[in-house]
Amino acid sequence: MVLPVHDTNPTRRPGYLTWLLIAINVVVFVASPVARHVAGGTSLEQQCRTLAYFDHYAAVPDELVHNRPEPTAHVYVDGGCPRVAAPFHKQPFVSVLTAMFLHGSWLHLLGNMLFLFVFGNNVEDRLGRIRYLLFYLGIGFAATYGFALVQPSSETPLVGASGAIAGVLGGYFVLFPRAKVLSLLTFFFFLPLRLPAWLVLGSWFVLQYISLRANQAGSGSGVAYLAHVIGFVLGAALCWPLRGQRRRLA
């Protein structure tokens, strides 16, 4: 596995929007019951509060395809975690946006934020902040709905910024293929290497695709590999016409 740490691709201005996205993801996670669940062990109450949180804010393929929220949700009562009438009103379309800022664990969060930190600022610099934000959110929506259309009956919550970040990786792949990326080659030890971006990101995409094929629709391992593949391909396709253009300042 190749783990990127830093690229040597200078920008004309700081990646403030990328930093803001990272900050929002971290703050949302720390404030969520998921973080308290991880820190406090796996008590039934913590598990139930996490399930209830995802019921409310995560994207569920069945809800998205039918544009109809599940009428029940988990609630912790009397030492149990039954499903009762949902004590909230949920808009499936809006849940795609909220789900982009949720994560299932510290490892999930830190992995996503590392990739966004390393590659996001250059894509932001090339697109300009407004187009970058629309690019990021739009691909996040497309990747989530793409997964839902393939798994229309799934009731497993989808959380994480992976689809949107995969779009950023795809954009970087076509915009800066020769940029050097300091990476850790991980086996039983960490070997630091300076590799071209096309190799680092290309190998990442191939790994996602192989994992997708191995897990059929990409959810058998608990990871939505199909959303990663959709996001990467869309990001690469949208940025393809911009190759060789000067970086925007707007």
Identity of the amino acid at 135: F
Query: What value does the mean pLDDT take over residues 41-49?
Result: 76
% pLDDT > 90, the chain: 62
- The answer as to whether 200 is a domain residue is yes
Residue 243 vs residues 51, 66, 141, 151, 249: alpha-carbon distances, Å: 43, 38, 24, 34, 16
User: What three-state secondary structure class fits 216?
Assistant: coil
- The answer as to whether 96 is a domain residue is yes
- Our CA dihedral for 84, 89, 93, 99, rounded to 10 degrees, sits at -60
Q: Is the pLDDT of residue 218 over 80?
A: no
Question: Residue 185 — very low, low, confident or very high, per pLDDT cuts 50/70/90?
Answer: confident
Q: Are 105 and 197 in contact (CB under 8 A)?
A: no
What confidence score (pLDDT) does residue 27 get? 96
- Higher-confidence residue of 199 and 248: namely 199
- The answer as to whether 250 is a domain residue is no
What confidence score (pLDDT) does residue 249 get? 45
Q: Is the pLDDT of residue 184 over 70?
A: yes
- The answer as to whether 249 is a domain residue is no
- The answer as to whether 29 is a domain residue is yes
- The answer as to whether 229 is a domain residue is yes
What confidence score (pLDDT) does residue 153 get? 86
- Higher-confidence residue of 141 and 38: namely 141
The parent domain of residue 184 ranges over: 2-242
Q: How far is Cα 122 from Cα 179, in angstroms, rounded to an integer?
A: 10
Q: What is the pLDDT of residues 52-61, one digit of tens each?
A: 899 999 999 9
Query: What value does the mean pLDDT take over residues 79-106?
Result: 89
Q: Is the pLDDT of residue 127 over 90?
A: yes
Q: How far is Cα 76 from Cα 40, in angstroms, rounded to an integer?
A: 16
pTM for this structure?
0.89
Q: How far is Cα 127 from Cα 7, in angstroms, rounded to an integer?
A: 18
Contacts by residues 219-222 (CB-CB < 8 Å, ≥ 24 positions apart):
219/147, 219/151, 219/154, 219/156
What confidence score (pLDDT) does residue 77 get? 75
Question: Residue 39 — very low, low, confident or very high, per pLDDT cuts 50/70/90?
Answer: low
Q: Is the pLDDT of residue 26 over 50?
A: yes
Q: How far is Cα 12 from Cα 247, in angstroms, rounded to an integer?
A: 8
Query: What value does the mean pLDDT take over residues 222-243?
Result: 92
Residue-averaged pLDDT of the chain: 88
Question: Residue 79 — very low, low, confident or very high, per pLDDT cuts 50/70/90?
Answer: confident
CATH code for position 170 = 1.20.1540.10
- The answer as to whether 184 is a domain residue is yes
Q: How far is Cα 70 from Cα 57, in angstroms, rounded to an integer?
A: 12
| Least confident stretch, 139-153, 212-226, 228-242 | 212-226
- The answer as to whether 171 is a domain residue is yes
What confidence score (pLDDT) does residue 38 get? 57
What confidence score (pLDDT) does residue 250 get? 43
Q: What is the pLDDT of residues 82-92, one digit of tens each?
A: 888 888 889 99
Query: What value does the mean pLDDT take over residues 164-169?
Result: 97
Total number of domains in the chain: 1
